[in-house]
Amino acid sequence: MAKNLIWRYLIIVVLLGWAVYSLLPTLRYERLSDTEKTALQEEGKLFDLESRIIKRGLDLQGGMHLILEVDVPDFVKKIADNQSMIYYNFMDKVDAAYSESPESDYLDILLRIAEQDSIRLSRYFPANERRTDNKSVVDNLEKECQHAIIRAEEIIRNRIDQFGVTEPVIQLIGNKRIIVELAGIDDPQRAKDIIHNTALLEFILLKDAEYTQDIINRIDAAVKRISPADIAHADTAVVSQKKSADKEISVSELLGLSESGDPRDDATVTVDLDIAADQPFSALLRNLGWDIGVPLENFYAVNKILNDPEVLRVLPNDLRILFSAKTQKVQTTDGKTAEFYSLYFVNREAGLTGEVVREAKAELGSVSSEQMGRPIVNVRMDAEGTKIWARITGANIDKRLAIVLDNRVQMAPRIQNKIPNGRTVIEGFAN
C-alpha cells in the first residue's frame, strides 16, 4: 500500500513539475514590457518564446473583435470607366433597387437591371477579353471583389504586424468579410485607425547609384558626429558572416548613446569592422546585388539612425528612404542563411498613385511570352494615368521604379520600355 502511494506521489510531483516548467515561458512573457518584447523580436527570440506560451483568447483577456466587409456598391463604382449620363442614370436605378432590398446581392441587381434596360456592361466595367456578355462582366466583377478582400486581408495583416499584437486572428469569412480579433489590445482606437486607414499605393522612381552613395556618405558623417566612440575598438564578440571583419556591438555603442531606458538600445548589431570607424552607417548595410541589404538584426539600429534629428538635417527634401515590405533570405559567405530587408532611396513625390489603376490581375505568363508559366501582374490604368505613365516610362527607360504600399516597398522592377497604352506587365514574382 505504501509503495503504491509513493508512486502516486512521484507521478503527482512529476506532473506538477512539468506544469510549472510549461508555465515558465508564459510567466516570463507576461512580465515583459512592450519595449522588451520589441528587443526580443529584433534579436529573433520573441517568436520562440511566443510559440511556448499558453495562448489566451478574447474570452480570457479581452480585446477587440471587428467584422470588416467590402462595400460592393462603392467598389463597383470605383472601377467603372467611360462614365456617361446613361451610366449615371443606370447606376442610380441600381442603387434605388438595392436600397429597397439591401439583403439582396448588389451584383445580381446590377445584372437584372442591365438586362431589363439593354445596358451593355462591358462599356463601363472590366470584362473578360474573350466574353463580353453581361453575365461574364458581372462574374468578373465578383472576382474583382474577391481579389479586393484578399488584398485587404494582406494589408490588415501587415499593419497589425507593425502594431505589435501577438497571435492576432485575421480570417476571411465568405467572399466579402474579414474577421479581426486582437486579444489583449490596450489601445482599441489606435488599432481601429491603423486598420481603417485607406491603403496608399504609389509608384516612385529610385534615385540613381551616385546620388544614393552621396546620401549614405552624408549619413556616415552625421553618425560619426553623434558617436564619439571608436566603433572598431568596441570590446565585443566576433560573429560570423565575414569572419575576419564582422563584429557584434550594441546600438548604444554604435550611436554613442547614454542610458536611454530603452532595452532595444542594448540589442546587438552586426557591423563590418573594415569600414566601421569611418563609415558607421555603411557598416550596418550589405550589398545584395541590385539592392542595399539591412540584416534583420540591424533593422532597429538603421531605422533609429534614419530618424535621428542630426541625420534628418543632412537629408535633402526630395528624398524618401524606405524599407522593403518583407525580408528575403540570402546565403552568406560562410554558407549560412540570413534574413535581410532591402533599403530603397526614392523620390519624395510619387510619379503615380493607385487612384489611376483601374484593374490589376495576377496570372501566369502566356505561352508566347518570355515569362511563360511565371507569375506576372497585368495592370491597366485610366486615361489620365495612361498619359502620365507614358511620360514616366518613356523618360526613365532602364531605371527602377518602386511599387510602394503604405510606405513599404513591395518590389522595385526595372522599366524596360515606354508604355504608351496604360497596360503594364510587372514581372519578377516568386509566386
Task: Provide the pLDDT confidence category of residue 343 given band limits of 50, 70 and 90.
Answer: very high
Please indicate whether residue 368 or residue 296 has the higher confidence score (pLDDT): 296
- Three-state SS annotation for 91-105: HHHHHHHHHHCCCCC
Amino acid at 93: K
Please indicate whether residue 136 or residue 431 has the higher confidence score (pLDDT): 136
Amino acid at 15: L
Most confident option among 79-83, 198-202, 220-224: 220-224
- Could you read off the pLDDT of 367-414 as tens digits, one per residue? 555 555 566 777 888 888 899 999 999 999 999 999 988 888 988 988
Worst-scoring range by mean pLDDT, 198-212, 322-336, 396-410? 322-336
Residue 206 φ/ψ, nearest 5 degrees? -80, 150
- Could you read off the pLDDT of 261-291 as tens digits, one per residue? 444 444 445 555 555 667 888 888 888 888 8
* H-run or E-run covering 241: none
Average pLDDT over residues 18-24: 79
Average pLDDT over residues 49-53: 67
Q: For residues 184 and 203, what is the distance between their CA atoms, to the nearest angstrom?
A: 37
Please indicate whether residue 191 or residue 98 has the higher confidence score (pLDDT): 98
Count CB atoms within 10 A of the CB of residue 402: 25
First vs last C-alpha separation in the chain: 66
**What does each C-alpha distance from 356 to 71, 74, 178, 402, 409 come to in angstroms?**
20, 16, 26, 16, 19
Place of cell 447606376: 91
Residue 168 pLDDT exceeds 80 = no
Contact 234, 249 (CB under 8 A): yes
- Cα atoms found within 13 Å of the Cα of residue 219, Cβ hemisphere only: 26
Count CB atoms within 10 A of the CB of residue 156: 20
- Our measurement of the distance from residue 230's CA atom to the centroid of its chain's CA atoms, rounded to an integer in Å, reads 36
Task: Provide the pLDDT confidence category of residue 240 given band limits of 50, 70 and 90.
Answer: very low
Average pLDDT over residues 45-72: 68
Give me the percent of the chain exceeding a pLDDT of 70. 72
Residue 217 pLDDT exceeds 80 = yes
Q: What is the pLDDT of residue 203?
A: 92
Most confident option among 73-82, 103-112, 245-254, 260-269: 103-112
Helices and strands (DSSP H and E) totals, the chain? 14, 17
Please indicate whether residue 108 or residue 249 has the higher confidence score (pLDDT): 108
What does pLDDT average to over the chain? Answer: 77
- Our measurement of the distance from residue 156's CA atom to the centroid of its chain's CA atoms, rounded to an integer in Å, reads 9
Residues 6+ apart with CB under 8 A from 403: 201, 202, 203, 409, 410, 411, 412, 413, 426
Average pLDDT over residues 126-152: 81
Q: What is the pLDDT of residue 155?
A: 78
Please indicate whether residue 375 or residue 172 has the higher confidence score (pLDDT): 172
Burial-class residue 41 by CB neighbours within 10 Å (0-12, 13-18, 19+): buried
Worst-scoring range by mean pLDDT, 67-76, 192-201, 242-251, 400-409? 242-251
Q: For residues 191 and 200, what is the distance between their CA atoms, to the nearest angstrom?
A: 18
Q: What is the pLDDT of residue 268?
A: 47
Neighbour-count burial for 324-344, b at 16+ CB within 10 Å, e otherwise: bbebeeeeeeeeeebbbbbbb
Q: For residues 164 and 263, what is the distance between their CA atoms, to the nearest angstrom?
A: 16
From 242, 250, 430, 236, select the one nearest 336 (Cα to Cα): 242
Residue 33 pLDDT exceeds 60 = yes
**What does each C-alpha distance from 130 to 138, 202, 231, 427 come to in angstroms?**
14, 31, 64, 24
DSSP assigned state of 207: P
Count CB atoms within 10 A of the CB of residue 169: 15
What residues pair up with 408 in beta bridges, in sequence order?
Answer: 405
From 385, 402, 393, select the one nearest 207 (Cα to Cα): 402
Contact 128, 141 (CB under 8 A): no
Most confident option among 158-167, 181-190, 200-209: 200-209
Count CB atoms within 10 A of the CB of residue 255: 20
Decide: helix, strand or coil at residue 366: coil
Task: Provide the pLDDT confidence category of residue 32 given band limits of 50, 70 and 90.
Answer: confident
